[in-house]
Amino acid sequence: MYLNNIIETIGNTPLVKLNRVTDGIKGTVLVKVEYFNPGNSVKDRMAVKMIDDAEKAGLLKPGGTIIEGTSGNTGMGLALTAIARGYKCIFTMSDKQSKEKQDILKAVGAEVIVCPTNVPADDPRSYYSIARKLNAEIENSYYPNQYDNLSNAQAHYETTGPEIWAQTEGKITHFAAGVGTGGTICGTGKYLKEQNPAVVSVGLDTYGSVFKKYKETGIFDEDEIYSYKTEGIGEDILPKNVDFDLIDLFIKVTDKDAALMTRRLAKEEGLFVGWSCGSAVFGALEYAREHLKEDDTMVIILPDHGTRYLGKIYNDEWMREQGWL
């Protein structure tokens, strides 16, 4: 038996037990290792779904161009889908993203435009604004807009949620994931809560992002927004995919704690994962220490692979420059 193209390998990623970094924690802590997807990240799932839905709606026609603002992983999923379906890709990225991410996207045939990080989302130089501008200018182009495109969360409702429910035989009691666009946690969480409303959904946020305060107070506080280094989670906007009713609580994790936990996962668990995976595990274990009971089962999403961060958190010199080693 063979598959017709690489995107048919997306999904059915393994669930793996954490053994060493969970010292002193009751219950079982499992991780959903999403780097087994062909683009090495969880974003492959929603990239295909957004393109499927755009084709069905007639928004993307043969030979068209996909234009998206990405921190790297969604771009990779879209690029692989574009190769399989015959589209071109142009991606805008903020300049804080690792050089590896830019180079990987170029390697799979995408054009990459790097934009400044430290500008507001509505600034014409931001990676959101540049993507919208290109979409308006280029004929037969499609801007998926992963932040507000509800096909993002729907992809996880249809795939990630059912996989976790089946893999844990319905024993899952807690679900944890980093929150960026919100698609992973809200789509997966919605499915799991429909199976068992008692499942607790823990969102991991970063300092410099608006999510935690907004959840707790309903206030969008611009004073919460400042530059941070962790890639792929946190936002200075409220994406439509973030349904705060589906996220029971948020925990914030510092750049340093996330980076050091990411390195621990590689050394102690053999999981060579990306930076936001460290955020997810550090924050989820902080919650688990206080709340997990003997017969509880927590599942944490590990979104991507360590190859995206070789020049940063896996580079001792870079880590020393940050004062983190």
Integer Cα distance of 164 and 169 in angstroms: 8
43 classed as catalytic: yes
Q: Which is the catalytic residue, given 17, 26, 43, 101? A: 43
- The C-alpha atoms of residue 50 and residue 39 are separated, in whole angstroms, by 16
Residue 213 to residues 176, 179, 205, 249, Cα–Cα distance (Å): 18, 13, 10, 10
Residue 173's identity, in one-letter code, is: T
CA–CA gap between residue 92 and residue 126 (Å, rounded): 9
Neighbours of 1 (CB within 10 A): 2
The values of phi and psi at residue 99, to 5°, are: -60, -35
How far is CA 50 from each of CA 14, 22, 136, 153, 190, rounded to the nearest angstrom? 23, 36, 19, 10, 18
Q: Are strands 249-253 and 141-142 parallel, antiparallel or unpaired?
A: unpaired
Q: Which amino acid is at 316?
A: D
- Residues catalogued as catalytic: 43
